[in-house]
Every structure is written in C-alpha cells, then in structure tokens.
Amino acid sequence: MTDNVKINRGLKGVYFERSAVSDIDGAAGTLQYRGYSIHDLATHATFEEVCHLLMKGELPNAAELAAFDTEMRAARSVPDAVLDIIRVCKDGHPMDVLRTAVSALAALEPDSLATGEEAFLRNGMRLTAQLPTLVAAHEAIRSGRDPVAPDDSLGHAANWLWMLKGEKPSEDAARLADVDFVLHAEHGANASSFAARVTVGTEANLHGAIVTALSTLAGPAHGGAAEDVMKMVKEIGTPENAASYVKAKRANRDAVTGFGHRVYRAEDPRARHMREGVRKLGEEMGAPEWYEILQAVVEAMKPYSRHGLNVNVDFYSGVIYQLHGIPMDLYVPIFAIGRMPGWVIQCIEQQRGNILIRPLTLYNGPEPRDWVPIDAR
C-alpha cells in the first residue's frame, strides 16, 4: 500500500488552503497584494497603507488612513516590565530577545488571550506598532544607552529609524525604510507564515502564533539571507574579485547568497526597488563600492539565470542596512518588522473556518518486533 504514496518533501507544490492576500507567479516573476502590483505599492504606497490593505482588505481613503495611523501610533509603547526583561536578556541574539519580548507581552497585556477576528486584528495592529519599539530598545540597552521613546509625529518607518539611532532620519532614508517594509510585508505561505497558521489551527491566540513565526524566521534558511549577502560582499572586497568568487562557488556547487528563490524562477519582483535604493544611498553616503560589488556579482551570475538563479529581494537589503550603520544581527528582526502585517492576515485567514493542520508522515522504520527485557538486550 505504501509503495504508491507520493511524498512531497517540504510540502513543495502542495496547496493546503485558499488565500485572498498574495498572488505570486514564480515563473513570470510577479507579486500582488490583494490584486495590486508590488511595483505600484512600492512606488506609491506607504507601509501604513499596505498594512490597512493587507489587514482590512482595501486601500484606505484619507479618513480611514488617518484613523488607522492614529491607532497604530498610539500603540507603540511597551510596558516597563518588558524593557526589564530585555535588560536581563540583552546579551542574547536579537531574534531570541524579540521572541522573548513578544512572549512577555502575551503574559502582560490583558487582551492578548482573546481570539476571534476582531481580537486578532486589534492585537495584530498593536504588535505591528510595538515590534520596532522592542528591536530598537534592545539595541539601545545592549549598547549601554537608554531606549529612545517613540515619536508620535513620525510615520512607522521614520519612527523606527528615530528609535534605533536617536536622530531624525532624512526623508530619503525614511522612504527607503518604508519601501523595505512594503516589499517584505507579505509573501504567501512562506515558512514563518505557515508555522503561524499551524499555531492558529490549534485555536491558540495571535501572540502565540507570532512567537511561532519569529522562531521560524530566525532560521538561516528563511530569514538570514540579507546578513549572509553582506558577509559575502565583505569577503569579495572589490568589484574585480566578483567573477572569480562566483566561479569558485559554482565550481564547488556552492550557492551564491542572494540568488534563487523557492518560488521565483524569474527575478524576484521586489529586487528592483531595493537595487535602486542601494545605488542612490551609496552615492549619497560616499560608499558606491557596495553597489558596484553587488552589480559585479549579478553580472557574473548571468550565465546561471537560465537555471532559475536570479536575484532575490535579500540580495540588496543587507547593503542598505550596512550603509545605515545597522549591525548585521538586526537584519532578521528588521525583516520581522516588515512581515508583521502579513503574519497577522495569514492568522486571520486561518481562523476563518479554522481547521487543525495535521499532515501525515509515512513510516519507514523497523517491522513489528517482540519486547526484549532489559537484561536480555
């Protein structure tokens, strides 16, 4: 009977549910959030507008956006007890500290145990607002500084940079961070979103699902690519070394970080928006060499594009963070800040007509055996 069972390892190519959120065409290299092209959203929308689109289903009008934004800004602060927990954990990896802080919020905030769509939306908006505060507070505490309080006069991305660095960002810097969040906001049933859905499938609360998502994102096969790209760029050193670096990697059958994607066979549609940001920011900061190294790697990888090894969004993200002086171990927490609205709507969708996600494994162990007493083994 088991000879005819097809195993889809990693659930590759398996549709487990319907979703009205992300439409991804890996062959064509396209991505839409609720019918809107990622190119239009990255060019024209703010992260707050995209949050409203994902969580509530439509782009907001001016009044709706103002109300949504006001609610988000009012939710940025976190309890002092959570900051105390961060102080205790300050020497841990930022993703471990972030996961622990969200668990602490679940225990400390009275509404966190509530379930149902309205509760998930309410808690999801609050967590989306709080995650930048948690990440920035940890960076300040481990650096021997006091956390910078949120500034309610600033938008989501600008406030994040303000709390992180203690200085008001330029309009260009804030917009680039905003675009980064928009590009990372949602991406279907990726590993962390699927893990969050599995948690919600057990009828757990949203905070528990977000802890699951954070734990999953922390794995280097999911969220760690931007950090690995920056390490690669530093190893290459100059644009002239890119071709030999790629040749050696391919000769050893090693992956070149930032190329290839589980879904996209064409270029990741999000990459182009980060590429231009790297170029402009590098020129403004007097460090164009990072962009030049990246483009030299892209040129060296062109012969492999026919195998689906095209640039993905993480290829450019790490250099943007580096140019901002952001430590490499914060790259994945930044990914998490951007992905929050996607996790929230994936959890809300799972809760509608909820079902326990319980796949099967095909047993391939020993045949039935007789019990052997311990003194006879």
CATH number at residue 97: 1.10.580.10
Residue 242 located in a structural domain:
yes
Consecutive 10-residue runs of the chain (377 residues): their mean pLDDT? Answer: 80 92 87 96 97 98 98 97 98 97 95 93 98 98 98 97 95 92 94 97 97 94 81 92 92 83 74 85 87 92 80 83 90 96 98 94 94 96
pLDDT for the residue numbered 2: 62
- Confirm if 166 and 180 have CB atoms less than 8 A apart: no
Q: Does 161 lie in the same domain as 116?
A: yes
Q: Is the dihedral of CA 293, 262, 344, 44 positive or negative?
A: positive
Which residue among the candidates 156, 187, 261, 273 is catalytic per the annotation?
261
Q: Does 275 lie in the same domain as 206?
A: no
Gap between the Cα atoms of 123 and 347, Å rounded: 11
pLDDT for the residue numbered 275: 86
Residue 364 located in a structural domain:
no
Residue 333 located in a structural domain:
yes
Residue 64 located in a structural domain:
yes
Which residue among the candidates 39, 96, 151, 222 is catalytic per the annotation?
222
Q: Which of 323, 341, 363 corresponds to the end of one domain?
A: 323
Q: Does 128 lie in the same domain as 69?
A: yes
Residue 14 located in a structural domain:
no
E-state strands within the chain:
22-25, 30-33, 36-37
Q: Does 198 lie in the same domain as 318?
A: no
Q: Does 233 lie in the same domain as 84?
A: no
pLDDT for the residue numbered 264: 64
Contacts of residue 247, defined as CB under 8 A and 6 or more positions apart, other chains included, come to: 300
pLDDT for the residue numbered 304: 83
Residue 8 located in a structural domain:
no
Distances (CA, A) of 249 to 239, 243, 256, 339: 16, 10, 7, 31
Q: Does 280 lie in the same domain as 300?
A: yes
Nearest Cα to Cα of residue 239 among 288, 281, 272? 288
Q: Which residue has the tokens 């260009």?
A: 172
Residue 15 located in a structural domain:
no
pLDDT for the residue numbered 159: 98
Q: Does 139 lie in the same domain as 102?
A: yes
CATH number at residue 268: 1.10.230.10
Buried b / exposed e over 26-60, threshold 16 CB at 10 Å, is eeebebbbbebebeebbeebbbbbbbbbbbbeebb
pTM for the model stands at 0.92
For the chain, the domain total comes to 2
Q: Is 222 one of the annotated active-site residues of the chain?
A: yes
Gap between the Cα atoms of 282 and 233, Å rounded: 14
Which residue among the candidates 69, 178, 314, 324 is catalytic per the annotation?
314
Q: Does 180 lie in the same domain as 32?
A: yes
Gap between the Cα atoms of 102 and 140, Å rounded: 18
Gap between the Cα atoms of 229 and 259, Å rounded: 10
Q: Which of 323, 340, 361 corresponds to the end of one domain?
A: 323
Q: Does 241 lie in the same domain as 152?
A: no
pLDDT for the residue numbered 277: 83
Q: Which of 323, 340, 370 corresponds to the end of one domain?
A: 323
Domain enclosing residue 26, as ranges: 22-218+328-351
Residue 369 located in a structural domain:
no
Q: Does 276 lie in the same domain as 128?
A: no
CA angle 258, 262, 267 (to 5 degrees): 55
Q: Does 274 lie in the same domain as 211?
A: no
Q: Does 281 lie in the same domain as 343?
A: no
